[in-house]
Homo-oligomer: A and B are copies of this chain.
Amino acid sequence: MKIELADSYGFCFGVKRAIRIAENTKDSATYGELIHNAEEIKRLKEHFNVKTLNTMQDLENENSIIIRTHGITKKDLDTFKSQNKKIIDATCPFVSKPQNIVEKMSKEGYDIVIFGDKNHPEVKGIMSYALKNVFVILSTDELIDKKISNKVAVVSQTTKKVEEFAKIVSYLITRSKEVRVFNTICNATLENQKAVEKLAKKADVMIIIGGKNSSNTKQLYLISKQICSDSYHIENESELKKKWFKGKNLCGISAGASTPDWIIKNVSNKIKELS
């Protein structure tokens, strides 16, 4: 039986990249969690001695600092630079992009609007690149009593829904003469969904890996099940059953956004044994 992985699955591009960087930077430390996955952070600590430290003080004695996927503030980055530390940037390129846009647009005199949660580390990083006049909002209500310039640049937290972003933009064009919109929403989740749909069309059996309480994994499973009735949602290889693969020609695999590659590999190896 042939095994095929979906064109897009599991950890997104930025997370995969960050883990690869961390694995290649032994005996280092990250400022805050590299990614939002405790198992994976534990693995990086045990196998590569990549520590997770949460304050600037804790990091004082570290020589190599890995910047987490969500990025950090410009001020903290500048502090690390001034301390002559070795900085390894694992900021997701989709997060660096709004940081760079905000810095450039702010320099060009645009007011900045960020659609996002001001308490999220990603947004804290992005907003720190504005020189002045930055509004971080989740709804247009937060702008009603604010004075906004006639030139506004707008970006979004990478994980927001585009329909909500459009509402912010629609409001802004009634307030400002020029609204420069940068769609910085990352469509990794959407890509995983599209890929599972494509794979389920040609596979005889589909294995979707991820936490049973993971919303995006459940979405992937439902999409797969609608197309390929022999679809199964598992958390790890121990749940696999030999009978699922009997007489099948092609087994498709996908995984939720919080599923590390090593779990996927374990599942894939076990399927090979069983089929």
Contacts and interface: CB of A to CB of B under 8 A. Distances in A.
B165 A173 contact: yes
- A: contact size bracket: 10 to 19
Interface string A160-180: 001001100110011011111
A176 B183 contact: yes
A178 B182 contact: yes
Contacts of A169: 166, 169-170, 173, 181
Contacts of A177: 182-183
Nearest to A181: B179
Interface of A: 162, 165-166, 169-170, 173-174, 176-183
Contacts of A183: 173-174, 176-179
B181 A173 contact: yes
A180 B108 CA distance: 14
Contact of A178 (B166, B170, B176, B181): B181
A170 B174 CA distance: 13
A18 to B, nearest CB: 23
A182 B176 CA distance: 8
Contacts of A182: 177-178
Top-3 shortest CB links A-B? A166-B170, A179-B181, A173-B183
28 contacts: A162-B173, A162-B174, A165-B173, A166-B169, A166-B170, A166-B173, A166-B174, A169-B169, A169-B170, A169-B173, A169-B181, A170-B170, A173-B181, A173-B183, A174-B183, A176-B183, A177-B182, A177-B183, A178-B180, A178-B181, A178-B182, A178-B183, A179-B180, A179-B181, A179-B183, A180-B180, A180-B181, A181-B181
Contacts of A174: 162, 166, 183
Contacts of A173: 162, 165-166, 169, 181, 183
Nearest to A173: B183
Contacts of A178: 180-183
Nearest to A170: B166
Contacts of A166: 169-170, 173-174
A37 B162 CA distance: 43
